[in-house]
Structure 1
């Protein structure tokens, strides 16, 4: 474990740790409930516990990590209700984002969107599911970047990460279903300047992803331990 707690370059080092953990979550390499030991992370990134803790606090603020007193930090495990609220928030925010993106359309943005779609298609073709999952999230963030709204972008970045955790926990099938075909339809609508269709396609796309999840609430038993064991 590194012991250097010098503030020189600390923000960059914290960002490196935070981004590395987030990428592992987005690519489904770190699963919900995984314990994030400060010492082990510090050894991986050659960083002090102070820097590791700062990175974990950032992720906790974003709802990606849960920090429990006397137990440490864990990759968050969203409840079904939190999962539904995440998708509801994404529909509201991304509906507004895609409308702004249509207004910002240009040849430069068309090329960037096409390049993104090509990267997604390539990942799917070679069976690289981790890359496909990461790239699908990056597509939504690219549209948000195109919309040029800093708050929307910041919020969506958090929601994309929470969505990744939700899919890991509640997907019915072990397949990647945020497909490039849906993204192509949305892109075509954006490029053609059809804001109404682009918004409808984006919301339908998000609702379809949510529909593939099993978000059934399970009722907690009100029976006491004695009732259960002696019943």
Structure 2
């Protein structure tokens, strides 16, 4: 059974700097490789190979894969182990529908509860998101776009919604990485700024309308067609400079 994690703490895990080989950063590296489509859907996530890459025990890897499975981006099957989730078209549509309902409620609550300090922090995230896309780092841009919505959920002042959003954003980001064509334009940072302006103005109707338009924009870019990436774990994480030189971390 996977461990229970406080939703707010779970959100903060992927906002940490991606360096080192501690438990949190191993989780973040695997999470990023999946969401940035460097790991192909259906790729087997070998505990042995990942333990060698990050220089930690299989127990630590198993724990992190369990948490990723809890969030819907990894599948763990009896006698087959862990693999990157690969949502079907029907599963993708169901996830996106659920996401719409949660986003509407979060937006309504954010209008009521978000502080200007929280909104300023979200605007800073939008700037970073824009920089990533401008520099051609589409994967990091997708990740930051998802993290924007996680932080927005925190402003709603409703703990259950943070947990719902965590799972839905993770799965939506996987769907985008799997099904959105990289040649298409990405303007979510403009939509994010407009949404923050409406929330700051305490205009619930406009904020909800903008959020639903944002969801429409995500749907319109999905063609449920292209696949790619690599199934070689050592290739995917080679940029980290980790592997056999690391000393195994004991549990």
Matches for 1:42-121 after TM superposition, within 5 Å: 42-121=51-130
Cα distance per residue 1:16-67 (max 9 Å; x no partner): 4333311222222222112211011112222211221122122222221112
1:129 corresponds in structure 2 to: 138
CA RMSD, 1 decimal: 2.1
Quote how far apart the aligned CAs of 1:13 are. 5.2
SS at match of 1:67: strand
CA contact (8 A) 1:177 1:209 kept: no
2:212 corresponds in structure 1 to: 203
- The 3 A distance-change label for structure 1 pair 128 and 171 is closer
Provide TM-score, normalisation by structure 2: 0.74
* Aligned-partner Cα distance in 1 for 2:68–2:166: 12
Provide TM-score, normalisation by structure 1: 0.80
SS at match of 1:35: coil
Cα distance per residue 1:124-173 (max 9 Å; x no partner): 22222122111111111121111122221122111111112212322245
2:150 corresponds in structure 1 to: 141
Of 10, 21, 31, which aligns to 2:40? Answer: 31
1:221 corresponds in structure 2 to: none
Quote how far apart the aligned CAs of 1:194 are. 0.5
For structure 1, the residue ranges without an aligned partner over 5 or more in a row are 1-11, 217-231
CA contact (8 A) 1:91 1:203 kept: yes
SS at match of 2:86: coil
Corresponding pairs, count: 205
SS at match of 2:131: helix
Q: Which has the larger radius of gyration?
A: 1
* Aligned-partner Cα distance in 2 for 1:215–1:127: 22
CA contact (8 A) 1:120 1:132 kept: yes
SS at match of 2:209: helix
1:156 aligned to 2:165?
yes
2:194 corresponds in structure 1 to: 185
* Aligned-partner Cα distance in 2 for 1:143–1:100: 10
* Aligned-partner Cα distance in 2 for 1:178–1:35: 33
